[in-house]
């Protein structure tokens, strides 16, 4: 009986998720982007950006609430204390739900992402609008251009997020961070906000298409100043150990 109830919950949640994705993200999201573009022409870039981030943040929270998934956020400090400073959120990567989770429950940030994500239908449109930067590490010319764009955004006080594992976990544990993955915050002295995500892996695993109800836990650690470390490797290992200690 318990297995049948679990199967029924999985089936209903999966159907609800895909129906909601199409209705809320594709239809309503397209309308939001259109309104944002009109606002940009009429009221200016700042007002349009503020409107978009507010709507997207609400979307991130509602995504979990409408699925009946409880998200428990533990904060070691308040992000509003860094409201006027740029920072980079460094988080482990468990599933596709990590992006709306960060946008809704932490901050509506842009993402530092690999070039392949730029081709993802629908999702790429929204994270582009949030000021994301896509980096093609195989193309040095394009990568250098993306880094210049990234530095410009950080100088403007933008907040960004990065998954230094490079891809989603296959077993729920935190994978080793890619070599040089924290070079951007280290080189530019941008504060790091370490974040642990625990539970989205159990909801939808990499390669799966069905969803299973599960609680999600998020912890926001105190900021880290890269200037306190001798090199990128030392910084990377410190942040990895901090995040993985909560999961592994």
Asked if residue 199 is part of any domain, the answer here is yes
Strand-pair partners of 162? 90, 112
pLDDT digits 0-9 by tens, 216-229: 999 999 999 999 99
At residue 186 the predicted structure's pLDDT band, cuts being 50, 70 and 90, is very high
The count of structural domains within the chain is: 1
Burial of residue 233 (number of CB atoms within 10 Å: 0-12, 13-18, 19+) = middle
Asked if residue 88 is part of any domain, the answer here is yes
Asked if residue 152 is part of any domain, the answer here is yes
Asked if residue 171 is part of any domain, the answer here is yes
Strand-pair partners of 73? 218
pLDDT digits 0-9 by tens, 97-130: 999 999 999 999 999 888 777 776 667 777 888 8
State how far the Cα of 245 lies from the Cα of 243, in Å rounded to an integer: 5
Asked if residue 202 is part of any domain, the answer here is yes
Determine the average pLDDT of the residues in 80-101. Answer: 93
**The domain containing residue 116 runs over which residues?**
69-247
Which tokens go with 96?
A: 């596709």
Can you list the alpha helix ranges (DSSP code H) found in the chain? 2-20, 29-42, 45-66, 98-105, 123-129, 140-155, 183-188, 200-203, 232-247
Query: Residue 121 has what pLDDT?
Result: 64
List the CATH number of the domain containing 200.
Answer: 3.40.1130.10
Asked if residue 21 is part of any domain, the answer here is no
Asked if residue 17 is part of any domain, the answer here is no
Asked if residue 49 is part of any domain, the answer here is no
Q: By the 8 A CB rule, do 33 and 129 touch?
A: yes
């Amino acid at each position: 009986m318990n297995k049948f109830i679990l199967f029924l919950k999985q089936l209903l949640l999966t159907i609800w998720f895909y129906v909601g994705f199409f209705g809320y993200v594709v239809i309503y999201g397209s309308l939001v982007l259109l309104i944002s573009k009109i606002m940009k022409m009429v009221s200016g870039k700042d007002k349009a950006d503020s409107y978009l981030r507010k709507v997207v943040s609400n979307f991130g929270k509602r995504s979990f609430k409408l699925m009946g998934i409880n998200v428990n956020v533990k904060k070691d400090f308040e992000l509003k204390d860094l409201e006027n400073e740029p920072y980079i959120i460094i988080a482990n990567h468990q599933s596709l739900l990590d992006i709306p989770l960060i946008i809704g429950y932490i901050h509506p940030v842009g993402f530092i992402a690999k070039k392949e994500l730029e081709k993802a239908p629908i999702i790429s449109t929204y994270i582009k609008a949030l000021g994301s930067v896509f980096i093609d590490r195989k193309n040095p010319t394009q990568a250098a251009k993306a880094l210049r764009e990234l530095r410009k955004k950080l100088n403007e006080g933008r907040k960004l997020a990065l998954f230094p594992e490079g891809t989603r976990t296959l077993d729920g544990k935190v994978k080793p961070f890619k070599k040089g993955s924290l070079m951007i915050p280290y080189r530019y002295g941008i504060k790091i906000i370490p974040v642990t995500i625990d539970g989205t892996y159990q909801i939808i695993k990499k390669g799966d298409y069905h969803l299973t109800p599960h609680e999600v836990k998020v912890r926001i650690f105190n900021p880290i100043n890269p200037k306190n470390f001798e090199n990128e490797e030392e910084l990377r290992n410190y942040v990895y150990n901090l995040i993985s200690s909560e999961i592994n």
